[in-house]
């Protein structure tokens, strides 16, 4: 292995888990289900390609205990493990595509949501997942709770920063004991800066510090780049837990810049791993010229919107 790409392939210890390198498959909905052979093939193939951590797509919390069980998710976890990667899963509050705002939730709804996360964590533990990640980014419900613009509640889940952080912290506190018993890591995905939501990095740092205190092991910042690769993730590295950066890091020099400048501990490659699941192996073996490069044609996103299995124009043509 060329020393110039060595930072990408240094192992990382997080609690009792060892990540074999610094490359992560981020959560991307791929319309293959989860308890299906197609999902096992898709995620297992990307594990075989050499990533250290596979974060399975945003999964509706209400599906746990109904469509998703420990037994029918176990083949997915085993497929990822067989490929040599750790397996985490992102849990989405309520249902994707459902228009829900903070003001819509009654106290009973919030209690129900916490119970859904508790059940999801129990089922993920039974399935053998190595990690669980609440989805608090990209303008979705938990991100809206954090926003002083979108969160107009007047009870303890709104108002000042402490109130707007409360739901995220309670979710982490709910799943942490289950994670401890099962040996799972707790991740949290957050968007560090949103002018339209009325917050910036200083407020996000306060949230992140509280999340770490509540039990988060890995902070996943998305998107994490502004002026330079991973620059929006960099302030969070001082909190003492590993940080994942994502956004255009399928270009090897950009991924290396993040790690070499200490802006994050892990780099997530999304569309690049849709285009070429062997991206990590090819980089490690000095075959970068053989990588099937994502050309940002957006066909994968078009597939997502159409509700068909996500693919790539580069290997369909």
Which residue among 43, 117, 140, 157 is the active-site one? 140
- How far, in Å, CA of 1 to CA of 280, rounded? 12
Whether residue 51 contacts residue 23, with contact meaning beta carbons closer than 8 Å, is answered with yes
Q: Which residues contact 160 (CB under 8 A, 6 or more apart)?
A: none
> Where do the DSSP E strands lie in the chain?
12-14, 17-19, 23-25, 53-60, 86-92, 131-136, 185-190, 218-221, 243-246, 266-268
| 29 three-class SS | coil
The separation between CA 186 and the C-alpha centre of its own chain, rounded to angstroms, equals 11
117 labelled catalytic: no
The separation between CA 111 and the C-alpha centre of its own chain, rounded to angstroms, equals 24
- How far, in Å, CA of 51 to CA of 255, rounded? 14
Q: Which helix (H) or strand (E) holds 275?
A: helix 271-275
- How far, in Å, CA of 283 to CA of 292, rounded? 12
Active-site positions read: 140
């Amino acid at each position: 292995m060329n020393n110039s790409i060595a930072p990408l392939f240094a192992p990382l210890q997080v609690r009792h888990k060892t990540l074999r390198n610094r490359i992560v498959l981020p959560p991307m909905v791929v319309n293959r289900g989860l308890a299906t052979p197609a999902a096992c093939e898709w995620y297992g193939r990307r594990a075989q390609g050499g990533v250290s951590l596979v974060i399975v797509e945003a999964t509706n919390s209400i599906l746990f205990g109904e469509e998703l069980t420990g037994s029918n998710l176990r083949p997915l976890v085993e497929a990822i493990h067989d490929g040599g990667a750790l397996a985490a899963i992102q849990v989405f509050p309520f249902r994707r595509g459902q228009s829900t705002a903070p003001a819509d939730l009654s106290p009973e709804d919030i209690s129900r949501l916490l119970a859904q996360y508790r059940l999801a964590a129990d089922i993920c533990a039974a399935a053998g997942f190595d990690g669980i990640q609440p989805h608090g980014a990209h303008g979705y419900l938990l991100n809206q709770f954090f926003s002083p613009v979108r969160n107009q509640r007047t009870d303890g889940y709104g108002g000042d920063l402490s109130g707007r952080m409360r739901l995220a912290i309670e979710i982490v506190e709910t799943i942490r004991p289950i994670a401890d018993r099962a040996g799972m890591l707790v991740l949290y995905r957050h968007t560090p800066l949103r002018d339209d939501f009325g917050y910036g990095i200083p407020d996000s740092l306060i949230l992140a510090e509280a999340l770490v205190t509540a039990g988060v092991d890995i902070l996943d910042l998305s998107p994490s780049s502004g002026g330079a690769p991973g620059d929006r993730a960099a302030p969070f590295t001082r909190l003492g837990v590993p940080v994942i950066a994502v956004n255009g890091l399928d270009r090897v020099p950009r991924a290396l810049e993040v790690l070499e400048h200490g802006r994050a501990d892990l780099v997530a490659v999304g569309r690049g791993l849709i285009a070429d699941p062997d991206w990590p192996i090819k980089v490690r073996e000095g075959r970068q010229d053989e990588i099937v490069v994502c050309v940002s044609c957006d066909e994968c996103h078009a597939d997502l919107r159409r509700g068909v299995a996500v693919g790539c124009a580069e290997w369909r043509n």
